[in-house]
Amino acid sequence: MKHMKKKQKVIVSVVVVLLLVAGCVCYVQDYYRSDETVQQYLEKNGSVKIEETENGLFLDGPATEQALIFYPGAKVEYTAYVPLLYQVAEAGVDVFLVKMPCNLAFLGKNSADIIMENDTYNHWFLGGHSLGGAMAADYAAEHLDSLNGLVLLAAYPTKSLQTKGFSVISIYGSEDGVLNMDKINQGRDYMPEAYTEICIQGGNHAQFGNYGVQKKDGEASITREEQQRLTVAEICKMIK
């Protein structure tokens, strides 16, 4: 009888583990895919060259002094941010777009380490969208001496970013149905003196990237192209 009970416990344990593994696999495979416009940018012959790297993509524009490392949002295919970041690179800020493990930025929070170790830009900026922005803020709070600034798209910090010579820009849409505005308000207490907050009227959460409609998001009253154009202008104004 004891042997049978022990055997049953082992079987139950194995089943539970298998169910957990299956659940995890289903979770990470359920993510937002890049839309068809992304491929147009990947194949574009312009002033920006896009190179595949060990960590994701490098958008190499005319810049020589400053670069932005960008963390994508949770469960969003990283290439969805190519249209936005292509415009940033085109405007004079090279961009490293990070491919996160399982499309979850908290699994690759320290990705900026390797990038900054292997390249020699004079000015480094870190940024991200949603969870990617939160993880970028977390990393920045621990590496304020290595970075010049932080770009938050629909995201907020939970640790102090207050130090001289460090800039933060926070951009979000007025119709964002995903972002926790209470956290945005609380996050202001962590910001440095050089802090800019921009609310894009008519913008929402998903239109910072090109991955379609996001669950629980508000309906934007401006186009994705307009939201990204305004975002790029503000990012480049802060960096340059």
pLDDT beyond 90 at 14: no
Q: What is the average pLDDT across 34-47?
A: 95
Classify domain 32-239 at the CATH superfamily level.
Alpha/Beta hydrolase fold, catalytic domain (3.40.50.1820)
The CA-based angle 198-162-208, given to 5 degrees, is: 30
pLDDT of residue 240: 82
pLDDT beyond 60 at 3: no
- Which residue did the predictor score with more confidence, 12 or 59? 59
Position 29 confidence tier, pLDDT thresholds 50, 70, 90: low
The set of residues, in sequence order, having a beta carbon less than 8 Å from that of 96 and lying 6+ positions away, is 53, 55, 56, 57, 58, 59, 67, 68, 69, 70, 115, 119
List the structure tokens of 22.
């299956």
pLDDT of residue 192: 98
Strand partners, 145: none
**Phi, psi angles (nearest 5°) of residue 152:** -110, 120
- Which residue did the predictor score with more confidence, 16 or 56? 56
pLDDT in tens, 104-144: 999 999 999 999 999 999 999 999 999 999 999 999 999 99
The answer to whether the predicted template modeling score (pTM) of the entire model surpasses 0.75 is: yes
